[in-house]
Amino acid sequence: MTYEEFADSRLAALLRYAVMLTGDPHQAQDLVQDTMVRVQLNWRRVARADSPERYVRRMLTNQYVDWRRGSWMRRVLLRAEPDDAVPVPADHTQHAVDRDQVWSWLSRLPRRQRATLVLRYYEDLPDAEIADILGCAVGTVRSSISRALATLRAEHVEACS
**pLDDT per residue over 37-69, tens digit each?**
999 999 999 999 999 999 999 999 988 888 754
Is 1-76's fold the same as 96-160's?
A: no
**pLDDT score of 91:** 61
Is the Cβ–Cβ distance between 119 and 130 less than 8 Å? yes
**pLDDT per residue over 105-155, tens digit each?**
788 889 889 889 888 888 888 999 999 988 899 999 999 999 998 988 887
Whole-angstrom CA distances from 159 to 40, 94, 104, 116, 137 are 45, 15, 11, 23, 33
**pLDDT score of 31:** 92
Indicate the residue type of 24: D
E strand map for the chain:
none
pTM for the whole thing? 0.63
For the four alpha carbons of 59, 65, 71 and 75, in that order, the dihedral sign comes to positive
CATH architecture group of domain 96-160:
Orthogonal Bundle (1.10)
Please name the residues in contact with 10: beta carbons below 8 A apart, sequence gap of 6 or more: 53, 56
CATH architecture group of domain 1-76:
Orthogonal Bundle (1.10)
**pLDDT score of 69:** 46
**pLDDT score of 83:** 55
Report the C-alpha gap between 43 and 104 in whole angstroms.
36
- Select the more confidently predicted residue: 7 or 97: 7
Report the C-alpha gap between 133 and 115 in whole angstroms.
10
Q: Break the chain into its structural domains and give their ranges.
A: 1-76, 96-160
**Mean pLDDT, range 8-18, rounded to an integer:** 93
